[in-house]
Chains A and B, each alone.
Chain A
Amino acid sequence: MCNTIKFSLPGELDTGALISELAAHYSIKKDPVDNRSILIYDTFDWRLFKKSFVLYKSGDKLFLRQLNENEILHRASIKSMPAFIWEFPDGLLKEKLAPILEARILLKLVELEIRSTSYRILNHHEKTVARIAHEEICSSPDNNSPPPSSQLCIYPVRGYLKYSRKIVKLFEERGLQTSKKDDIYFSWLEAAGKKPGSYSTKIDILLTHDMRSDEAAKAVFYFLLRIIRINGENIEKDLDTEFIHDFRVAVRRTCTALGQIKYVFPEEETERFKKDFSSLGKLTGELRDLDIYLLNENIYKEKLSPALRKNINPLFILLKKKRSDALHKVIQGLKSKKYETMLGDWKTFLNKSRNESPEPPNAGCPAIMMARTRIYKKYRGVIKAGYLALGDANDKKLHELRIHCKKLRYLMEFFSSLFPPDKINVLIDQLKKLQDNLGGYNDLCVQEEYLLTITNELSGTGLHLKRTLIAIGSLVETLGRARQSLKDDFTEIFTGFASPENKKIFRELFYNDQQRTVNENTGGLQ
């Protein structure tokens, strides 16, 4: 349980001779040669890599370590490789990974074959006081790999560190160099054609203040189009529920950008693509909703009294069936010529150089001005809608406020690179709290209504059906209580967001003195 020291070995080095030399100083025992495979895993969106973790399987055990560190943080015995977090055995590894992996599937990134020859250094009690392993890392049959490499690892034993220190010194005197930083993870992933962190849905676009607004908008659209493409290709495989989620978020962001970054493209084309992307949202809506119900299955069941839990199973059987139909519908839609043409047209539109005459009114407007004007206006929209909801928090007003918030959030994310990160991120975090409250409330409204509607579709008769209906009724009641609790929290959360301190930062970041002039001149930034 101490840090391993690794030495990279030059090809010409005779490890046998090195070990013989050690034998002159220490009593050494050679262990049987160990051949093992190591399989490295991560999610599609590199959640573990982004947290600097490496998860790998060796034999019937899973190990978690920090990148560039050798110490194992957590380990677990497994019977078969878990695909999702809920398939992990209970324990510290599961606890650590649960908030990171959430609903994402683990995918195998690369497989290594390691042949390890180990030697134990013994003291006069024949107690192991250090271990040395000569590890030869070879390619596994099914992936490209860099040339076989080998390393000499010293595994210190706790309480006997002086022995490993002496061995390190001896190796260094023989010209060997420790390989401290180059984590083998990178070279093997590179060889397998994988680039760690290459996929992320977080808007990461570098805009400049004086960039034209139409160019800034295109940069946002290119980024989102890539996300739509990647996820669209993976939805059919149905590996996990997050491909459809990421797809939908990118589609929604595209719709918002088309509607909110106003008058930078010709109106006719803007309207056409708004309609197209909106239809994609509608196509995938049911599937996402059903995913949420199914992901929440255990949470729903926990909300019910133990006596009712079994009775609600027919509902989930029906939801699974409906999900399968909904997935089929989405796959057909994404395979259709209409979808291909639409994305093709969209790409052609984005690639098209400017030649409209007259130019759309805000196309040449500096990105910073567009960003400030739109964000500040949307912020004021949120505050206005929020105060209306405070007066009378009915579902319609809360829904309208939620939509305003969503648009504001997307706008702030699109243009975040134009503003100081410490300030804009604080505001985004504050907005997120409000969105969580409103989003949670809306989800519960939708779920209650859906559960009541779906009762018509439940099959079965007599006592079984009655019991299922009682369980659904009980669930709806529990959801209703949770919804009311969110509503009770709303006033405090909104008041926090609308605080004078936040208002000051919003004004400082997004209000510009030229706003009125720009609005009058362009006629479009209102």
Chain B
Amino acid sequence: MKILAVYSNKGGVGKTATAVNLSYLAAQTGSRTLLCDLDPQGSATYYFRVKPKLKSGAKGFIKGGRRTYKSLKGTDYENLDILPADFSLRKLEISFNEMKRPKKRLKEILSVFSHDYDLIVLDCPVSISILAENIFNAVDYILVPLIPTTLSVLTHKQLLSFCKNKQYDTEKIHTFFSMVDRHKKMHKQYIIKVAKSFSGVLDASIPYLAQIEKMGIHREPVSVFSPGSAASEAYRNLWNKVQKIMI
């Protein structure tokens, strides 16, 4: 089983849309896939038309073990299940802090799924504290959507520096450009600049497209309601690149 986190320490960069579309595409290849919606806002859960509720809430979740299975929901798609969000997940950071080995709890929680799934995709909330450390300890790959703007790049530098200080393996971190507006000169310039200055930048970018926003109306991955669209094609390309790093 491999674990991929779609993570950013900056909000509004397209994490959830990425997690939803990539987990759908992974399931389509035959991989038994589980999408974990760790974000209390529950957007990924909403996209799959599932009620944002965990049995026993965040408290039950952090205890881990077989009881976590009771919260799993099948999506409308073969091979794809979801561990829904729950509003109580907003207290996850505090709950982790109150436990023993607070930085490795998530790894233990997810380990119970190792025989049932080939891939777990985490849709992570914005965090750069203990939840983030749990994520870094639990996953094999971290996929960071990066908007080609000054602030977004600055935040990414912060992340890399945080990982180095805490001695997390930055090799796990891969980035791709998200919400790219081809008409903006600055976006173009940043893409060239950033691709040179960071390692692990995938040759894939997700354009800023209305089709992606329409996921909220259709409540389906882009490739389901608009399979031939540029947005669908962009996610397919991203998934191909992600698959290559996971081999």
Contacts and interface: CB of A to CB of B under 8 A. Distances in A.
Interface of A: 1-2, 61, 75-77, 90-92, 120, 125-128, 156-160
Contacts of B219: 126
29 contacts: A1-B32, A1-B74, A1-B79, A1-B81, A1-B116, A2-B74, A75-B30, A76-B30, A77-B29, A77-B30, A90-B247, A91-B118, A120-B76, A125-B49, A125-B51, A126-B49, A126-B219, A127-B49, A127-B50, A127-B76, A128-B74, A157-B73, A157-B74, A158-B74, A159-B71, A159-B73, A159-B74, A160-B73, A160-B74
How many residues of B sit at the interface, in one of the four size bands?
A: 10 to 19
Interface string B46-62: 00111100000000000
B72 interface: yes
Nearest to B70: A159
A2 B116 CA distance: 11
Nearest to A129: B74
Contacts of A92: 118
Contacts of B76: 120, 127-128
Given A125-B51, A127-B50, 5 more contacts: A1-B81, A75-B79, A90-B247, A92-B118, A159-B71
> Which of A1, A75, A91, A128 is packed against the most chain B CB atoms within 10 Å?
A1
A-B CB proximity, top 8 nearest? A159-B73, A127-B49, A157-B74, A158-B74, A128-B76, A125-B49, A75-B30, A77-B30
A159 B118 CA distance: 20
Contacts of B118: 91-92
A2 B81 CA distance: 11
Interface string B29-41: 1101000000000
> Which of A2, A92, A127 is packed against the most chain B CB atoms within 10 Å?
A127
Contacts of A77: 29-30
A243 to B, nearest CB: 32
Contacts of B247: 90
A61 B30 contact: yes
A365 B81 CA distance: 67
Contacts of A91: 118
Contacts of B81: 1, 158
Contacts of A156: 74
A362 to B, nearest CB: 56
Nearest to B69: A158
Contacts of B49: 125-127
Contacts of A90: 247
Contacts of A61: 30
A159 B81 CA distance: 9
A13 to B, nearest CB: 27
B30 A159 contact: no
B51 to A, nearest CB: 8
Contacts of B116: 1
Interface string B92-107: 0000000000000000
B169 to A, nearest CB: 23
A159 B29 contact: no
Nearest to B71: A159
Interface of B: 29-30, 32, 48-51, 71-76, 79, 81, 116, 118, 219, 247
B145 to A, nearest CB: 26
Nearest to B76: A128
A92 B1 CA distance: 9
A75 B75 CA distance: 18
Contacts of B73: 157-160
> Which of B73, B79, B219 is packed against the most chain A CB atoms within 10 Å?
B73
A386 to B, nearest CB: 44
B77 to A, nearest CB: 9
A246 to B, nearest CB: 34
B1 to A, nearest CB: 9
Contacts of B32: 1, 75
Contacts of B75: 128
Contacts of B79: 1, 75
Nearest to A127: B49
Nearest to B77: A128
A429 B48 CA distance: 54
Nearest to B117: A1
A2 B73 CA distance: 11
> Which of B72, B74, B247 is packed against the most chain A CB atoms within 10 Å?
B74
A104 to B, nearest CB: 24
A75 B31 CA distance: 7
A90 B73 CA distance: 28
Nearest to B247: A90
A69 B116 CA distance: 16
A402 to B, nearest CB: 41
A157 B79 CA distance: 11
Contacts of A159: 50, 71-74
Nearest to A93: B30
B194 to A, nearest CB: 32
Nearest to A76: B30
B242 to A, nearest CB: 15
Contacts of B72: 158-159
A56 to B, nearest CB: 13
B247 to A, nearest CB: 8
Contacts of B50: 127, 159
B116 to A, nearest CB: 7
Contacts of A1: 32, 74, 79, 81, 116
A92 B119 CA distance: 12
A477 B15 CA distance: 55
A457 to B, nearest CB: 40
A90 B74 CA distance: 26
A449 B51 CA distance: 70
A90 B50 CA distance: 33
A77 B32 CA distance: 12
A393 B79 CA distance: 57
B176 to A, nearest CB: 23
A160 B75 CA distance: 10
A180 B76 CA distance: 26
A77 to B, nearest CB: 5
A92 B72 CA distance: 22
Nearest to B51: A125
A127 B219 CA distance: 10
A81 to B, nearest CB: 15
B45 to A, nearest CB: 11
Contacts of A160: 73-74
A128 B116 CA distance: 21
A61 B118 CA distance: 15
A92 B118 CA distance: 8
A159 B70 CA distance: 7
A432 B169 CA distance: 46
A3 B134 CA distance: 33
Contacts of A76: 30
